[in-house]
């Protein structure tokens, strides 16, 4: 069930983990690509992990990294032990229910027939 919700959340795509340090990914900057957004993994002083959106596409991410003086290439680390942990952290943080479901039996306005007014009886 949770896997189905995750697939729906990312429109059938699978998030991918990247690092600026492919030899020791835990020492580089870590990013996750998920559907249409790049997120940076931020680890706080207490070890708490969070993900913050940083770019909408890869070229934008590269420009953002260059502005910060980081010229290392990013490498897919999804199959590594650290990459798997990053993806688990990411999936644990991302809400599987982004919005509450609509419980009304009425059709949404955009699905009403022309001339049909379900809001005003």
106 in any annotated domain: no
Domain membership of residue 83 (yes or no) is yes
For residue range 48-63, what is the model confidence (pLDDT) as tens digits?
A: 898 999 999 989 999 9
- Residue 115: its pLDDT value, please? 56
Residue 47: pLDDT band with limits 50, 70, 90: confident
Residue 32 has pLDDT above 70, yes or no: yes
pLDDT of residue 35: 77
Average pLDDT over residues 31-44: 90
**pTM higher than the cut 0.95:** no
Domain hosting 77: range is 2-93
| 99 falls within a domain | no
Per-residue pLDDT for 20 more than 50? Answer: yes
**Does 110 fall in a domain?**
no
pLDDT tens, residue by residue, 89-107: 998 885 544 454 555 555 5
Place of tokens 């940076």: 40
Q: Looking at per-residue confidence, does 76 or 106 come out higher?
A: 76
pLDDT of 27 strictly over 50: yes
71 domain residue, yes or no: yes
Closest by CA to 26, choosing from 41, 12, 48, is 41
Dump the DSSP string for 1-41: -HHHHHHHHTTT---EEEES-SSSGGGS-EEEEETTEEEEE
Q: Quick check: is 63 in a domain?
A: yes
């Amino acid at each position: 069930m949770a896997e189905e919700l995750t697939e729906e959340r990312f429109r059938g795509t699978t998030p991918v983990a990247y690092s600026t340090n492919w030899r020791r990914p835990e020492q580089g900057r870590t990013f996750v690509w998920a559907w249409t957004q790049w997120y940076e993994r931020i680890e706080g002083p207490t070890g708490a992990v969070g993900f913050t959106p940083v770019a909408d596409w890869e070229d934008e991410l590269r420009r953002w990294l260059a502005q910060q003086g980081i010229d290392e290439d990013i490498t897919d680390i999804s199959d590594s032990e650290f990459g798997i942990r990053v993806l688990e952290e990411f999936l644990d943080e991302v809400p599987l229910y982004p919005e509450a479901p609509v419980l009304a039996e009425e059709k949404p306005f955009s699905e009403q027939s022309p001339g049909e007014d379900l809001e005003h009886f």
